[in-house]
Chains A and B, each alone.
Chain A
């Protein structure tokens, strides 16, 4: 079971659209795939038309009184399941520990029993740097980091890379990709070009800023499902191929 997490400290950079579309593509490849919507806002759950509700809330899952398995819902697509968001996830940090006793590997432990059932798991993380995100980084094999091509975004990537490098034991591979790229903006072009030249771990495939991607919230489906021949769908396919090719 391979665990991918879409993560960025900033919100609105394309984490959820990437998680939803890449999970869809993984399932379409025949891989048994689970997407865990960890964001209490529940955007991924909404896109799959699944109610953002888990019996017992995040507390039951973290404390183990309910299993993850029991909370999973099938999406409309073959091989693709979703563990829905719940509004109580906003308190997940508190459940994961106190300042004296932090649990940084709980999410990884909770996912372990699902190893026989799924080939790929995607974690869609809330924006922030918290105990939840630290858990996600420990659980993940690959951190997929969407970057809007701005100077500040690049700085954030550096901070994240340094943070992960400080982990004891297993560290996730950090794969950044440009998101919401506007080809008309000179700054976007320059940063994209420079960063690709300067750094490894950044994919050549980028996700452009397209209104079709925004339409996902209207269609309530992955872009590759409702517009498979579109430029946006092609971009996600290219990104997924590149992620797979480096595994």
Chain B
């Protein structure tokens, strides 16, 4: 039996000679470059290693050895690198006998594997066939799809190292890999590893020592996956939908806001392709979060931007928000469908199936409308012009005639104001207040949350974590309250639409389905009442007397804590709240 690789080395030509190169595959000439590069590695370096080993062993090529020959692999992860962040590596290996998924820890320790013949990546996690790998990653990645991060085509050769009796005492595996990602290819250095044959450790160590002495050999400190990312200049975990613009306290307010908005625009644009290809629902979610944050930033911080830009883009981003709402609402219904079915008491999940089919049809229709809009000249103009406008503000810097606030001053003023509004509005809510007052408070809380996130680098980290934690719990409570109401109303509207569709010659709707939908609506009413009952406690925790010192600390650093502790502003008139995030 062969144990896994005992010693790994990468073999590169000594300094001054060839180095691994990165090149574009889009040009036809690149193939010949690739071939000549590979030739150099193969013909010059492997024989040097074999010659070194021949000092102590007889070397014999082993044809048809397990794992030898051509090897095609791809490493998969979600768009937001959930597996990488969790210390996991997922490899899709394509072989003539079929494909299989291999899950391992970052250090190479295997976790699980399963065959996945015929399964294409780029589909949401739910479509992954049942098996041990799915069992281990489903909760982590759902509802995201797995996408190829890097692909590799390798040639692997195995050489047996024989002792004087002609017995195989170790094996040398040599792998030459060309890796590609996003149209860029690179050749990795020749990778060599010595595998011990059981009971012959001394000989394997001897072989490793001989390899280590070959000019150009260095210990192989990286997996092929990480080496491939490095060679291709890809940074793992590079995507996040967090607002992490580089903001400092003394930065002119306009520059800070432009940086924030550019960062949000980057996030938005990074998600467009995934939305258009409908890879998974989270592309649209992140797209919408970027839109909402942008709208909030324009509303709350737009005073430092040219007024014409602020006015135009407030309208354009509202258009984008409204455009994406129907599809997202249907996504939310569909994502929670299994849980909804599971809660039925009187009806059965089968009764709800026609409702699910209806949601799927409707979602397909709404998605087409959304995709058309995202391919429109209007959308292209928004992103292009908005970027130009923001770059102009950022590059203009502080050279304006009138004095403008620093980032710290802007943060202090706007955050304190947002706190005051929440304290006033929330404090005025009684058990008899209409639902709209809670919906409106939810919007104010979202705005505050965004402001805190925009200026996070300027805040005291301990106070920030605590305040944001409490705010998040209050938001969850308000979100449950509003989402339950909105979904209940939507179920009523969808039931009407299903009946209308049936009357106009579409698929009929059974009474059992409508009754099951009624049961779902009733459960949403219960959820809403539970959230309502929890509100006072959540609000007191966030904005009550015990929380005020934390808020003061938070506001003290970027600006004067001043009036945050004394809510003064009257609650503005209530307005309908936004739907699902």
A residues apposed to B, CB below 8 Å: 32, 48-51, 71-74, 76, 78-81, 220
**A76 interface neighbour in B66, B160, B199, Cβ under 8 Å:** B160
Q: Which residues of B contact A51 (CB under 8 A)?
A: 165
Pick the contact of A81 from B1, B165, B166 — CB < 8 Å? B1
Listed in ascending order, the chain B residues whose CB lies under 8 Å from chain A are 1-2, 66, 160, 165-168, 197-200
Q: Which residues of B contact A50 (CB under 8 A)?
A: 167
B197 CB contacts on chain A under 8 angstroms: 73-74, 76
- What's the Cα separation between A51 and B199 when bound, in Å? 11
Q: Kindly list chain A residues whose C-beta atoms are within 8 Å of the C-beta of B66.
A: 78
Complex Cα spacing A71 to B200, Å: 11
Q: Are B198's CB and A74's CB within 8 A?
A: yes
Q: Which residues of A contact B2 (CB under 8 A)?
A: 74, 78
Residues of A within 8 A of B168 (CB): 74, 76
Beyond contacts A48-B167, A50-B167, A81-B1: 12 other A-B pairs, Cβ-Cβ < 8 A, are A49-B166, A49-B167, A51-B165, A71-B199, A72-B198, A72-B199, A74-B1, A74-B198, A74-B199, A74-B200, A76-B160, A76-B167
On chain B, the residues within 8 Å of A79 by CB distance are 1
Q: Is the interface of B mostly helix, strand, loop or mixed?
A: loop
CA distance A80 to B197 in the complex (A): 11
Q: What is the distance, in angstroms, from A232's C-beta to the closest C-beta of chain B?
A: 22
Q: How far is the CA of A180 from the CA of B384 in the complex (A)?
A: 86
A73 vs B203: C-alpha distance in the bound complex, in angstroms? 13
Interface centre among B1, B166, B168, B198 (most CB of A within 10 A): B1
**Beta-carbon contact of B167 and A81 below 8 Å:** no
10 sampled A-B residue pairs with Cβ under 8 A: A32-B1, A49-B165, A50-B167, A51-B165, A74-B197, A74-B198, A76-B197, A78-B2, A79-B1, A81-B198
Across-interface contacts of A81 in B (CB, < 8 A) = 1, 198
The CA of A220 and the CA of B166, in the complex, are separated in Å by 9
Taking A50-B167, A81-B1 as contacts, is the C-beta distance between A73 and B200 under 8 angstroms? yes
Cα-based distance from A50 to B162 in the complex (angstroms): 12
Given that A78-B1, A79-B1, A80-B1 are known contacts, is A73 also in contact with B199, CB under 8 Å in the complex? Answer: yes
Complex CA gap A242/B200 in Å reads: 35
Chain A residue with minimal CB distance to B166?
A: A49
Cα of A220 to Cα of B199 in the assembled complex, Å: 19
Q: Which residues of B contact A72 (CB under 8 A)?
A: 198-199
Residue of chain B at shortest CB distance from A118? B1
Per CB-CB distance, the 4 closest pairs between chain A and chain B, nearest first, are A73-B199, A74-B198, A49-B167, A74-B197
- Least CB distance from A51 to B in Å reads 8
Residues of A within 8 A of B167 (CB): 48-50, 76
Q: CB-CB < 8 A to A48: which residues of B?
A: 167
Residue picked from B166, B168, B199, most chain A C-beta under 10 Å: B199
Could you tell me the distance in whole angstroms from the C-beta of A82 to the nearest C-beta in chain B? 9
Q: Which residues of A contact B1 (CB under 8 A)?
A: 32, 74, 78-81
CB-nearest residue of chain B to A48: B167
Measured CA separation A208–B272 after assembly (Å): 72
Task: Give bound CA distance, A76 to B171, whole Å.
Answer: 10
| Residue with the highest number of chain A CB atoms closer than 10 Å, among B2, B66, B198 | B198
A residues in contact with B160, CB < 8 Å: 76
Q: Closest approach, in angstroms, between the C-beta of A135 and any C-beta of chain B? A: 24
Chain B residues contacting A73 (CB-CB under 8 Å) are: 197-200
